[in-house]
Amino acid sequence: MPTLILTTNPGIEDIAADEARHVLGAKVVEVKTGLGRAVVEVSEENVELVDRLASIHRALLLLAKGSVCGERECLADVKSVIEESGVIDFLVPYGSFAVRVNRVGEHSFRSLDVASVVGEAVIEAAKARRGWRPRVDLDYPSTVVHVDVIHSEVLVSIELGGELSWHRRGYRVYDHPAALKPTLAYAMLILSGARDGDHIIDPMCGGGTVAIEAAYMFEHSKLTCMDMNPRHIAGAKLNAKAALVYPRIRFVVGDARRLSSFIEEADVLVSNPPYGIRLGSPRQVRRVYRDFLTEATKIIRKSITIITPEHRFASKVLEELGWKIMHERRVAHGNLYPHILVATP
């Protein structure tokens, strides 16, 4: 059975593995928690379904595994893993390739050194066995060779389905300055426990990522996307049109600190409130969080799920309001490590 390395946002690897189990019937081999990778085995006929996964950034077909020590001299071992991997069978005749390296751990070589050894090994192997020299094209390669050097482990794989990272789904025609990755939005919706038919709201919805992902996941749910900034709501509408889910979502311009005056009740709230970097003082951010959560707990029946670096403060407020934190996890988001909190009444 082909082995796939699914890459995702660090912190939601288990969610990607679960989705692969359900959608592809995959067997989960390893969940590399914190490294943004899950390794799964999938039957030949289900490999092509991989582009249905909403929780992954990329899918890589694993070709070979090997090991390497941390010293520069050991880069020769990486070269022999490449030679044995059969990677050249995936090169397009007279086409181009690029090497992408993901290195974790202490080594006396850099990722660039690995890329250069791998690039040379690919060219030599292609010349020797196929009689032509592939071109290196870092921008628009026909084949992408991935090399993961994770401590002493080396994994060689090629990328399936082109290089466009799948979290940049085609619908993002309006680029909100603080947009959430669709993969994180999907993970939050899963963690929220939302069911098809629930009324799901995002009262600080920006470019509408959560509402759009929810529209893809749930056929019968009522969806509301609210933001106090009319420009973002106009952008969210454009995104929803590009995603072909516009009629499914209700758009509201409104202030989440007065949520109950815009929305009477809903089942589930999933949101990415401002992190506060642009709002200035932490006191001001916390005031917004307190007012927003106080209002949210008045109208939400089932769960509130938020992603925030203000997780301690938000948990404290939710607990003061009599809600329980049912789940909490740290995820990577850009160069920050916010937490996803799930609270229930």
Ligand X SMILES: C[S@@+](CC[C@H](N)C(=O)[O-])C[C@H]1O[C@@H](n2cnc3c(N)ncnc32)[C@H](O)[C@@H]1O
Q: How far is the CB of 220 from ligand X (least distance, A)?
A: 23
Does position 180 interact with ligand X (CB under 6 A)? The reply is: yes
- Among residues 131 and 334, whose Cβ is nearest to ligand X? 334
Write out the binding residues for ligand X, residues 193-252 only, by CB under 6 A: 203-207, 209-210, 227-229, 232
Structure tokens at 306: 């938020």
CA angle, corner 217, sides to 211 and 223, nearest 5?
A: 35
- Among residues 138 and 277, whose Cβ is nearest to ligand X? 277
Does position 178 interact with ligand X (CB under 6 A)? The reply is: yes
Nearest Cα to Cα of residue 167 among 38, 298, 294, 58: 58
Does position 274 interact with ligand X (CB under 6 A)? The reply is: yes
90: Cβ–Cβ under 8 A, 6 or more apart, which residues?
63, 143, 158
Which residue in 7, 55, 192, 272 binds ligand X (CB under 6 A)? 272
Which residue in 88, 256, 285, 296 binds ligand X (CB under 6 A)? 256
Residue type, 145: V
What is the spatial distance between Cα 252 and Cα 2, in angstroms, rounded to a whole number? 46
Using alpha carbons, list the distances in angstroms from residue 12 to 33, 91, 181, 332, 339: 8, 32, 12, 9, 11
Please check whether residue 161 is in contact with residue 4, taking contact to mean a CB–CB distance below 8 angstroms.
Answer: no
Does position 255 interact with ligand X (CB under 6 A)? The reply is: yes
Q: How far is the CB of 194 from ligand X (least distance, A)?
A: 16
**Continuous H helices in the chain:** 13-24, 75-85, 111-130, 182-192, 209-217, 230-242, 282-299, 311-320
Does position 179 interact with ligand X (CB under 6 A)? The reply is: yes
- Among residues 63 and 314, whose Cβ is nearest to ligand X? 314
Backbone angles phi and psi of 174, in degrees to 5: -105, 120
Nearest Cα to Cα of residue 119 among 103, 143, 153: 143
Please check whether residue 239 is in contact with residue 172, taking contact to mean a CB–CB distance below 8 angstroms.
Answer: yes
Which residue in 169, 176, 199, 248 binds ligand X (CB under 6 A)? 176
Q: How far is the CB of 219 from ligand X (least distance, A)?
A: 22
- Among residues 258 and 324, whose Cβ is nearest to ligand X? 258
- Among residues 11 and 273, whose Cβ is nearest to ligand X? 273
- Among residues 60 and 188, whose Cβ is nearest to ligand X? 188
Which residue in 21, 27, 257, 327 binds ligand X (CB under 6 A)? 257
Structure tokens at 41: 């085995």
Q: How far is the CB of 303 from ligand X (least distance, A)?
A: 17
- Among residues 101 and 293, whose Cβ is nearest to ligand X? 293
What is the spatial distance between Cα 264 and Cα 327, in angstroms, rounded to a whole number? 26
- Among residues 180 and 249, whose Cβ is nearest to ligand X? 180
Which residue in 123, 270, 288, 341 binds ligand X (CB under 6 A)? 288
What is the spatial distance between Cα 125 and Cα 88, in angstroms, rounded to a whole number? 7
Q: How far is the CB of 233 from ligand X (least distance, A)?
A: 9
Residues forming contacts to ligand X in the complex (CB under 6 A) are 176, 178-180, 203-207, 209-210, 227-229, 232, 255-257, 272-274, 288
